[in-house]
Amino acid sequence: MFQRVLIANRGEIAVRIMRACRELGVETVSVYSQADADALHVQLASQAVCIGPAKASDSYLNVDALLTVAKETGCDAVHPGYGFLSENADFSDRCTQMGLAFIGPSGDVIRMMGNKSAARELMQKHNVPVVPGSDGAVETAQQAQEIADKIGYPVLVKASAGGGGRGMRRVDRPEDLEAKFQEARAEALACFGDGQLYLEKLILNPKHIEFQILADRHGNVIHLGERDCSIQRKNQKLVEESPSKILTPELREAMGQAAVTAARAAGYENAGTIEFVVDQEGHFYFIEMNTRIQVEHPVTEMVTGIDLVREQLRIAAGLPLSVKQEDVVLRGHAMECRINAEDPTQNFRPAPGTTRFVHFPGGPGVRVDSMLYNGYEVSPYYDSLVAKVIVHAPTRLEAIRRMRRCLEEMIIEGYPTTADFCHLILHHPDFVKGQYDTGFLAAHQDELLGWDKED
Ligand code: ADP
Ligand code: ADP
Ligand code: MG
C-alpha cells in the first residue's frame, strides 16, 4: 500500500478520499487555493499546501504545481477525485512519468474513452449495443444530414470531447440540422477546445442507467450493479438510486455483462462507470464511460457494502480486487440527494454564501458526505455541490421515507439549496411509483415549485 497520497481535489470528495486513506493507514497531503484556506479538506489535513489563486486554472488544474507538491512532500500516489484533472489523460501520464501512481486508469485509456465517438466505435467492435448513429465522427453538416435521414429524427448532435451535458444539441427536423450542427461545434470548441462531433438517434424519454465497474491489474473485472440517475436538471444528476425499479434480474445480468465487456475492451484498470440509456422497451445502449470515481458512488457503497475509494487505492497499488463477482450482493435500497447551493426558483442558479448554521441528519441507514461546517463560506469559484445525503433501507419505499425524514431534519442556513426541491420530488406520485425518466424534471419542475408556493 502507499505511504502518502496527494489529494488533487477539494470539497466533499477530498474529505471522502482522506477518510479512506486514514482507514488504510495511508498519510495524505491536501492542496488548496487561496480561496480555500479555511476549507474542511485543509482543516482535517495533517499536511496542506497552497497551490495558487482561487481560479481553478491557476490552482486545482495547475499540473506543475501539483506534481511539485507531490514530490516535495514525498507522496507516492495521486488521487484526482472527480472533475478537475480526473479525466485528463496527460495528467495521468505525467504522474506515471514522475514515478507517482495515478489512482485511476492510464493516460491511454482515459484518452480513448474520453473521445466519445471513438469509444462508441470500440464498443461496436465488441458487440456492446450503442445508440444507432454515426460510425465514428462526422465531418460536415451534410454528412450528418445523410446519416440522420437514414436513422430518422429526432437526433442528437454530440461532441466527441463532451462532458457535463455540454456540446450537445437535439435536432427534430432536417431543416434545423445545419444550424444546430454549427452551434454544437462552436460550444464544443469553446468548452473543450475540440470541435469534433458525432451523431446519435435521440432515444425518447429514456432511463439513465449506469453500471459501476472495478478492474484490477490481474485481469479481474467485476460490476457492482446499477445506479438509476434519470432525475436530471440541465443534463446534471440530482437524485440517484440503486437498484433501479425497471431492471429485471435478466436485464441487470445482460447490462452488467455488457459493462464488464466494455471495461475489458478498453483494457480498463481502476474504478469506472459505464453509462447507458434504456428505452421504453427495455433495450439498452452504451453512451459513454466515465473513467473516475463518481459523485454518486456512495449509492453503490450502501447497497454492496464495498468501499470504492479503498478499492481504488488497492488497485492502484497493484493489489487484487478484494471481492469476486459472485460475492457482490445488492442488499436493500439506497438513494442519494445532491444538495447544491443553488436556487431552484431561479433555474438552479448557483447561490453561494456563508453557512450561518448547519445541522445534518443522522440515525439508522443515513450517511452525509459534505465539507460544510458552521461559518463555512461557500466559494463562488467552484462546483455548487455542498452535501450529499445518502440513505439505505430494506425496501425502496422505506428508503424514500427515510430520505424525506432526513431532509426534514437537515438545516442549512445562509443560502438556498436544492434540499427542499429534492423533498418535493420525493413526494411526487410518479417518483414514488418509480415511473420516471430523464424527462421527469423538465416536465414536472413548475408543478413541483408550485407545490412549494401553496405551502
Ligand atoms: P456527458 O458526457 O455530458 O455526461 P452523455 O453522453 O453522458 O454526456 O449524456 C448526458 C445525458 O444526456 C444522459 O444522461 C442522457 O440523459 C442524455 N442523453 C445522452 N445521449 C442520449 C440519447 N442518444 N438519447 C437520449 N438521451 C440521451
Ligand atoms: P457524475 O456522474 O460523477 O456526477 P457529472 O457528469 O455530473 O459526473 O459531472 C462530471 C464532473 O464534473 C463532476 O464530478 C462534477 O463535480 C464536475 N463538474 C460538473 N459541473 C461542473 C462545474 N460547473 N464546475 C466544475 N466542475 C463541474
Ligand atoms: Mg454522462
User: Looking at residue 65, which CATH number applies to its domain?
Assistant: 3.40.50.20
Q: Is 275 in the pocket of ligand 2 (CB under 6 A)?
A: no
In a domain, 255, yes or no: yes
Distance, in Å, from the CA atom of 162 to the CA atom of 89, rounded to the nearest integer, reads 15
Q: What is the pLDDT of residues 370-415, one digit of tens each?
A: 999 999 999 999 999 999 999 999 999 999 999 999 999 999 999 9
Catalytic residue chosen out of the listed positions 111, 185, 227, 292: 292
Low-confidence ranges of the chain (pLDDT < 50): none
Provide the mean pLDDT of the chain.
97
Q: Are residues 153 and 274 in the same domain?
A: no
Q: Are residues 172 and 219 in the same domain?
A: no
193 three-class SS: coil
In a domain, 124, yes or no: no
Tell me, what's the pLDDT at 199? 97
Q: Are residues 155 and 9 in the same domain?
A: no
Do residues 406 and 391 touch, judged by C-beta distance below 8 A? yes
In a domain, 428, yes or no: yes
Tell me, what's the pLDDT at 454? 59
Tell me, what's the pLDDT at 409? 98
386 three-class SS: strand
Please identify, by atom number, the ligand 2 atom nearest to the C-alpha of residue 81: 14
Tell me how crowded residue 281 is: count the other CB atoms within 10 A of its CB: 5
Q: Is 2 in the pocket of ligand 2 (CB under 6 A)?
A: no
19 is catalytic: no
In a domain, 218, yes or no: yes
Q: Are residues 179 and 233 in the same domain?
A: no
Distance, in Å, from the CA atom of 215 to the CA atom of 222, rounded to the nearest integer, reads 6
Please identify, by atom number, the ligand 1 atom nearest to the C-alpha of residue 131: 23
Among the bound ligands, name the one nearest to the CA of residue 87.
Answer: 2
* Segments of 97-143 assigned E as strands: 101-102
In a domain, 121, yes or no: no
Q: Are residues 335 and 406 in the same domain?
A: yes
CATH number, domain of 180, equals 3.30.1490.20
Number of domains in the chain: 3
- Cα(246) to centroid of ligand 1, in Å? 18
Distance, in Å, from the CA atom of 434 to the CA atom of 428, rounded to the nearest integer, reads 10
CATH number, domain of 227, equals 3.30.470.20
Q: Is the dihedral of CA 8, 14, 17, 22 positive or negative?
A: positive
Nearest residue (by CA) to ligand 1, atom 22, is: 202
In a domain, 368, yes or no: yes
In a domain, 364, yes or no: yes
Q: Are residues 223 and 189 in the same domain?
A: no
Q: Are residues 215 and 279 in the same domain?
A: yes
Residue whose entry in the numeric block shows the C-alpha cell 449506469: 210
Q: Is 164 in the pocket of ligand 1 (CB under 6 A)?
A: yes
Q: Is 82 in the pocket of ligand 2 (CB under 6 A)?
A: yes
> What's 437's DSSP letter?
-
Containing H/E element for 13? helix 11-23
- How many alpha carbons fall within 13 Å on the CB side of residue 47? 14
Q: Are residues 250 and 328 in the same domain?
A: yes
Distance, in Å, from the CA atom of 441 to the CA atom of 53, rounded to the nearest integer, reads 37
β 385-393/366-370 pair status = antiparallel
**Residue type for 281, please?**
E
Domain that holds residue 342: 207-448
- Cα(284) to centroid of ligand 1, in Å? 13
Tell me, what's the pLDDT at 120? 96
Q: Are residues 234 and 147 in the same domain?
A: no
- Cα(433) to centroid of ligand 3, in Å? 25
| 120, 169, 191, 277, best to mutate for ligand 1 pocket (most atoms within 8 Å of CB) | 277
Q: Are residues 187 and 230 in the same domain?
A: no
Q: Which of 85, 103, 121 is the last residue of a domain?
A: 103
**Residue type for 7, please?**
I
Q: Are residues 372 and 256 in the same domain?
A: yes
- Cα(185) to centroid of ligand 3, in Å? 18
**Residue type for 54, please?**
A
Q: Which of 48, 82, 103 is the last residue of a domain?
A: 103
Q: Is 225 in the pocket of ligand 1 (CB under 6 A)?
A: no
Which cell numbers hold the place of 358?
A: 448547519
243 three-class SS: coil
Q: Are residues 275 and 422 in the same domain?
A: yes
In a domain, 112, yes or no: no
- Cα(88) to centroid of ligand 2, in Å? 14
